[in-house]
Structure 1
Amino acid sequence: MFSSLDIEKKMRALYTIEDIVSAMKAYAGVTIRRTDDLVQNIRAYENNLLLAMADIITYYPEVSVKEQNKGKRILAAFGSSQGLCGSFNEKMVDVISRVVTGNDILFVIGKRLKLSLELKHITYGDDSDSVASINGIQSALKETVSKIMNIYRKDEYYNLTLVFTYIFEKKAEISVEQILPPDIRKVSVLSPTRIPPFTYLKPAIIFEKILEELLFISLYRGYMESLRSENWYRLRSMEGASEALKRQLSNLTSMQMYTRQEEITEEMLEILGSGMFFTK
């Protein structure tokens, strides 16, 4: 049986862990709040690019992307490099295993996701690190774009599809989105402006720049959505850990009181048994 001092040491250790968990909860909460508005802004900007593309396709029909069903696909999957985020990576692996084909090359973002894929014996072509904060997205994005474009320049690769987790109505969902080539039929149904756009550049150049910007902002959104979702999972895990710690501390407090009472009783019996108290 543990002594009251042993229990006190264990409680101090749990209080230290509780402080760490509280700090992680706070950091995850701040990251979620910061990414909320940013994600909305990115989505709005991405929609503006699609509207601009719709204008170019509508008023300059000779400028477009040829539809092609052949060619290999780059499947870029966003996971995490840090742990303590519950089933975040495991659910990504489940989706990837269903959508990946022998005609795809899998580009993995996140060390933890890479390890989860290896455990399931799912092969991948290349990988990159994920980010731990919003400030790290810019540098990571440059590396990812460079690696993906090196693959995409090969003649056999024509399609780029992103797989990432996003939060919708307090639920985590996984999106599988084709980025390149853009779905021209889907873009065409967007409402173009009533007045043809006045341009001083050739429409083909504008269309090419829109595609480049669409690639960049789509990958940026993938990073941002994934970071937000990772911290959403981590916050839930930390809340569960916090509740478990509270239960353990409550149990240890009760045990400490009981143990201390037993120790005091034993001390009293020892004193009485030693003959220190005499009656006249």
Structure 2
Amino acid sequence: MMLSGMELAYMYSLLLFFVQILILVPSSRAKVPAIIVFGDSTVDTGNNNYIPTIAKGNFQPYGRDFPGGFPTGRFCNGRLPPDFLSEYVGLKPTVPAYLDPAYNISDFATGVCFASAATGYDNATADILQVIPLWKEVENFRDYKKRLSDYLGIEKANEILREAIYIVSIGTNDFIENYYPMQMRRSQFTVKEYQDFLIGIAENFFNQIYHLGARKISLTGLSPMGCLPSERTANFQDPFSCNEEYNNVALEFNRKMKNFVAKLNRELPGIRVVYSEIYDFILEIITKPSKFGKYWSYIQ
């Protein structure tokens, strides 16, 4: 089957993601006992199906390329990066959503997703569409740790949490759903101050999951969010072009996040955080599609 440009773009983005995260994977893949996921729609494997929100991916065409061809709550045509990573390290081909009643702790022992589409670092972002705030993702992780300890014993549970790979992908919604379209945060912060506010929340989040056992973590940076279809469509000053203001904010935030990751690696004993940079690669796909082959022209 011939792939569209957008599908090829997704595949190349996955490849980049894997190249950057492999530093966390030991030479023996079997040593990775679980994949544990926090974040937004980029990694939500279906949690929003089970909460009262309109931010759901439970209808077609979502899931058209998922095994069976049905929507799962993933905001994607098929599987998401955590699913592919789980399969790569020899675990299940999909990472189950923590709120999915079809799964129990025996399923979650090798991988679990706490992410919620449309959420952000900022609680106010989650409030907009009534999704799961980041602090609640941490509370669900805390509950998971207790259930895992009851199921496998404290020592084995702690080993799994220590050796698991954690994926964190979040932040775009804080700007495109909250800061820019809503008045509240813009009345409180300049955009640079808001970036620092979010990093303060991120620091608290990472400290919490660290003390709950997380050690090997991949943090994905922001993509060129001014080039998202919604932002290009709404760019009335330069129709269908990327919003350069938003892209510059993403670049600045990514720079600050890289410094933040370096700080975490210095200050938290035993932690290993890898910053996954996706901005430049995705921007090149969007702005120079022909460089990657004839099918890339579809993305414009």
TM-score, normalization: structure 2? 0.27
Greater helix percent: which structure? 1
Q: Which one has the largest radius of gyration?
A: 1
TM-score, normalization: structure 1? 0.28
Higher relative CO (CA 8 A, sep ≥ 6), structure 1 or 2?
1
